[in-house]
Chains A and B, each alone.
Chain A
Amino acid sequence: MSTDTEGTGFLYPFIDAQERGPDSLLDDLAASAQSKVRESSALQRSTLTDCADLVTQAGTRMAERFAAGGRMYAFGNGGSSTDAATFAALFAQPLTGRPLPAINLAADQAVLTALGNDVGFELVFSRQIIAHSSNRDIAVAMSTSGSSADLMNALGEASRRGLLTIGFAGYDGGQMADASEVDICFVVKSQSIHRIQESQALLGYELWSTVQRHLSSGESAPTPARPTSPSQRDTP
């Protein structure tokens, strides 16, 4: 390389970048990705530790409701809406364990657009709770802010109707963390929407595992259906 080129190289960063090729960028990207994975992994583990008691409590109460014939409604906005759909699918179409009735409230574009257009987006989930739910059911809202109006409205409606209400939030929990309408709130303490969602996915998986274990152990069999003495049994 001539001294002339070296002397003027700073004027042509574009050419310089071309000459160096993408290797240094690719190295930087790989290092950045590895650091983010370590961050997410650590957040998942600290979140599971922080929420261990809540997962047990929520899983037990959910299992009781499923055993009593209840169903679960899961909902969220944007990426969290898809995470709610994955969560619902894990319950309804599990590769192992007992399939349980779980529905993603954002799945039906006719219902979603009808409600959004006619009554306003902040009511797209609460109106469905009104239409579908019974007091044996479970409402699960997934959010990163913890304060979306459509989710808070639905949780409020669900609570008034006797549903078990569960919220997933990030940051400091937002409104979900303080609302009396939310029975159990999982807070992933992070400022990154991506990292929050990654930890919420694992929390959802743990919750599903806990429900499955309760149902397979028989501990959550509904009390009213269980014979209280041998004389009441009508089958051997």
Chain B
Amino acid sequence: MSTQAIPADVQAVSGYAGLQPAPASVAGIPPDMLDGGLARDLSDASLALARRFHAGATMWCIAPQWEPHAHHMAVEFVHPVIVGKRALPAFALCAPDVVAQARVSVRPGDIVIAVAAADDRAVRDLMRRTPAWGGLSVWIGSGARPAAGSADHVLWIDDPNPLAPATGRFVIMYHLLWELTHVCFEHPGLLTPPVAECNDEVCVTCSDEGRLAEVILAPSTPFGDALVRTEAGEERIDVTMVAPVTPGDLVLIHAGSALTRLDPEMGR
């Protein structure tokens, strides 16, 4: 065994606890990583995942910059490390055009989970389209946070190190997501979300709220309907107010008409 002393710069960067008292956050997982709301975000996401899986969801895993994380998330759910836990449907999506691959894969009720930086354009696009496909979006990352509301569940680690994805911090995030999701399965009474009651103030159906839709087919005639996809499935809508539209456009619809188009970098 080597008796070579570890140089001071090595100690400073990597925090060898046995040689000098280094801050725990130098490279490894800080003990308080989940403080400041992340523990609750993780719990909320886990219950949401359990409810979706309970209703038949498939989970689609994406990590364009760190593809192995997509595979690790998928294998975690498909082939649990604890014998006896349910195998759950999960796939890694790694095509060069991950949005196109997700579009054809995601069905209403599914889960789309990404590990990516906030400035990852493909993942930003994916997260904003997921509601139009009826998917639940979960975004894991570190560094600068994505804009508020960028995904249904944002699980963000406060760590500016761009190499954080290779230090175990992301691995523990989806390990915990898996562990907590399976804890939720032990509470069958909570797996069916309460049905939203219709009242005049908040009901989507009765209110003026727009629904997100993605154009599948543009109208074949000037005043024809477009075929769009929403969380409820496919429907034909009037698009004269936002014409012309092309496949892939995101529009807000209400009462059978597209009211406005969302430009590519607009939030949800």
Specify whether A and B are partners: yes
Given contacts A198-B172, A202-B167, contact A30 B68 (CB under 8 A): no
- A113-145 vs B: 1/0 string, CB under 8 Å? 000000000000000000000000000000000
Offer 22 A-B interface pairs, CB within 8 angstroms, sorted by A. A22-B187, A26-B43, A33-B39, A36-B179, A37-B31, A37-B32, A37-B33, A40-B29, A41-B30, A49-B17, A53-B2, A53-B3, A79-B72, A83-B72, A83-B171, A85-B67, A89-B68, A89-B166, A90-B163, A201-B166, A205-B27, A206-B14
User: Any chain A CB within 8 A of the CB of B183?
Assistant: yes
A205 touches B81 (CB 8 A): no
B104 to chain A, nearest CB (A): 20
Given contacts A34-B39, A202-B167, contact A41 B33 (CB under 8 A): yes
A213 to B10, CA, bound (A): 8
B47 touches A83 (CB 8 A): no
Q: List residues of chain A with CB within 8 A of the CB of B9.
A: 213
Q: Lowest 8 A-B CB distances belong to which pairs? A: A17-B189, A201-B168, A49-B18, A57-B2, A29-B43, A85-B68, A82-B72, A30-B39
Given contacts A17-B189, A48-B28, A193-B81, contact A209 B14 (CB under 8 A): yes
User: Any chain B CB within 8 A of the CB of A8?
Assistant: no
Q: Residue A199 contacts which of B165, B168, B179 (CB distance < 8 angstroms)?
A: B168
- List 17 extra interface pairs beyond A37-B34, A86-B68, A213-B7, CB under 8 A: A17-B187, A26-B44, A27-B43, A30-B43, A36-B172, A40-B29, A48-B17, A53-B1, A53-B3, A54-B2, A57-B2, A60-B4, A79-B81, A82-B72, A86-B165, A87-B166, A198-B168
Q: List residues of chain B with CB within 8 A of the CB of A53.
A: 1-4
Q: List residues of chain B with CB within 8 A of the CB of A36.
A: 172, 176, 179
User: Any chain A CB within 8 A of the CB of B268?
Assistant: no
Q: Residue A82 contacts which of B2, B75, B189 (CB distance < 8 angstroms)?
A: B75
Question: Can you name the residue of chain B whose Cβ is closest to the Cβ of A199?
Answer: B168
- Name the interface size band of chain A: 35 or more
Residues of chain A from 10 to 59 with CB closer than 8 A to chain B in the complex: 13-18, 21-22, 25-34, 36-38, 40-42, 44-46, 48-50, 52-54, 56-57
A193 to B42, CA, bound (A): 20
A80 to B221, CA, bound (A): 55
Given contacts A26-B44, A52-B19, contact A78 B79 (CB under 8 A): yes
User: Any chain A CB within 8 A of the CB of B249?
Assistant: no
Residues of chain A from 67 to 90 with CB closer than 8 A to chain B in the complex: 78-79, 81-83, 85-87, 89-90
A29 to B183, CA, bound (A): 8
Residues of A within 8 A of B (CB): 13-18, 21-22, 25-34, 36-38, 40-42, 44-46, 48-50, 52-54, 56-57, 60, 78-79, 81-83, 85-87, 89-90, 94-96, 104, 193-194, 197-202, 204-206, 208-210, 213
User: Any chain A CB within 8 A of the CB of B103?
Assistant: no
B8 to chain A, nearest CB (A): 11
B24 touches A45 (CB 8 A): yes
Q: Residue B31 contacts which of A38, A50, A56, A85 (CB distance < 8 angstroms)?
A: A38
A16 to B190, CA, bound (A): 10
B42 touches A33 (CB 8 A): yes
